[in-house]
A and B are shown apart, each in its own frame.
Chain A
Amino acid sequence: MELKIDDVCFSYPSKEVLKNITFEAHSGEILGIIGQNGCGKTTLLKCLNTTLSATDGCITIDGQDVLSMTKKKIAQEMGFVTQTTSTTFPFTVFETVMMGRYSRKQTLEGESSDDVRIVYDALKDAGALEFADRDIDELSGGERRRVMIARALVQEPRILLLDEPTLHLDINHQFDLMDLISDLAKNKSLLIVLVTHDLILAARYCDRVIAVEHGEIVAMGETGDTLTPDLMRQVFDIDAEISIDPRVGLNVTILGKHKR
């Protein structure tokens, strides 16, 4: 499966947010999008699944333009886990995950035993099975994030879009979640596109990274080749050392704010 983004631009009336974004991504890889706050990372994810309509350019999945797809078809292709996991009404975890089956159902079709099996598998894969009978508002931030990933998985997508998946999680749960995401890419051949601020996790888990600055791609490629001290300085205004640690692989050591 190939996701192709060709010269995509997005503007609000008073601000140009994305400028000429072009890249390709394939099944089984984890693509990290990094950049400072407000650089357009989340906007890019929203353009990918048409929550926002790109003002110019084209996004295709295996050659088919996403704008020509129905909402349900897009949901079958892409699962999106947003930053927000808050809910107003306390659905159970099982009900919440079952909602993800919507795009696979006909208008009046009820839930089948196949749906229940798919929900069960997704809860298990996401490590959320043990709290399936609890109300979602009783869960911690990390547990909710797992539930949202399970809900995206039951859409049976080929692409998983994750917006700051480790936000507000403690370091232990950050690694748990990133291990889960890594497994999903490898075992289920999902294309994972994740937006993150965390350069250490990006270095360790992403196969490729795209660095975005002021709505433009400033660097793109294999993580080891792309994450360089110069890029850190240019994009984040920080001094950092990039090294290969035999125990953990690619490692980013942040030294502090760039001293001019």
Chain B
Amino acid sequence: MVGGQSASLSDTSVALSVRGLTVTLPDGMERSHAIEDVSFDLHRGQILCVIGESGSGKSVTASTVMGLLPRAIQATAGSITLEGREIIGMGREELRDLRGRVVSMIFQDPLSALNPLMTVGAQIDEAMAAHDEGTPQSRRQRAIELLTEVGLPDPALMYHQYPFRLSGGQRQRVMIAMALALEPTILIADEPTTALDVTTQAQILELIRDIQRRKGMSVMFITHDFGVVAEIADSVVVMEKGHVVERGSAAQVLNAPEHPYTKRLIAAVPHLRQDDRERAAHTDASGAPAKPLLKVRNLVKTYRSGSAFFRTQRIVPAVQDVSFDVLPGRTLGVVGESGSGKSSLGRLLIRLMEADSGQILFRDQDIAGLTEPAFRSLRPKIQMIFQDPFASLNPRNTIGRSLTVGPIAHGVPAAKAREDAKALLDLVGLDARAYGRYPHEFSGGQRQRVGIARALMFKPELLVADEAVSALDVSIQAQILELLDRIQRETGVAMIFITHDLRVASQICDEIAVMQKGRIVEFGRPSRIFFSPEADYTRELVSAIPGEQLDDKTAAAATGGRQSTQQTLQQGTQT
């Protein structure tokens, strides 16, 4: 249903209008159309969120509007009206002139979108020079203005910096400055915060909203995260498999979704749980408190790069004096931002790296000091689920081989291993026929199920899940979390769940350790950590979680926070 279709074409309040847009894929792809009959309006001065899972066609839509489609695929039907001008069928040069001047784009990964060999200033300058804008002096001045505008510290110095010197958040600010260089009326943001930490994400969202208000720009914001939608959207378009399935105002779509797909997506968004998991008070059969399965004491790991001899050594403390216990059948969450040392900690525990000092007591045996051959017999007891389902399976091995290679190397007869593997494929919700297939035939979620099955082949006592659901779509994420929960109930395996997403952690963990710069800054039950955090850093993390006002229970707290940020924003604008 397309509301007000004819009216909007002449309506000057519409900055970008897309009608019946269809992009055809070449033969032999999974589907015949990347997007089909997509229509929506971006109103002037509004933020329109296009949301959908991977493969929904949201990025293709953005690329089509920018005229940046790869040569192999083309828009075959429909129209795109940009500020009253039809751009489908427009010549290359004309289109190039529109890009940057009328519409510009910021990308997901600011590291690969910036040229590593050019200074920040030169890149902003280039954006203007390409459109014959201003003189070198005026461009330079404008670039510094822009760097100030996007909130970068010391803009005059920043002008001469190379991208590698900046943090992820700073790079994204530079991207935004570049996009703003020619004062476009429309900004397209393709998942601009997905690669960033929560606290940085919150800052960038605030910046985009702030700039949009100040300049009265129209923003088309592409995301897969309903939390982000709740933070910034005025109106929403929901896409599924190349089709628009629902559109409306943000409040309408978020509070009263109509399409089952939208409902499913919204239901899948993880929220902070108020209550702790039931098994929190765990005792063994006799009623006495269970003995810890794993005790970590004063673990230290420092990365050294360069050479001490040439005095070029850099020392990065990754894990500093970390201690905790894990009880059998329970889940410990390790949360923190990138660089907090949480992944290093996980790799230390399964001995993919050697600790510098400290103890890892597994069933009271110190495994930190064991040699690799001595530890080999213990490896089956401690297994890991990896982050990237696309990288963690050998593309040249069948699923069956990936599953059975470990047990066979440990002396399990091949026939027995094959039987176990098929049983586990069933347990993780995959067809037994998957056994003979190759990883590229499966989706990300399915591959992650294979990764879980592989970790379970040995009937481990401890599972370390390193960002196990971070690379997955929300709806798949929810299914995998459910699967892990079920496996824990059925097998009694203890888990260490490493994640940057506090909402996910609160779903599945019995205890949570918050890490910052290699140290555990806070440890406790999820309800206490999230609802009455003690450490400043934890408070910062919790307040940065996007879209928590969706959750009724936390509505009051979150809106309070939002209002205060808006106030500061307004103050910022006035000054």
Chains A and B come from one and the same complex: no
B-contacting residues of A (Cβ < 8 Å)? none
A-contacting residues of B (Cβ < 8 Å)? none
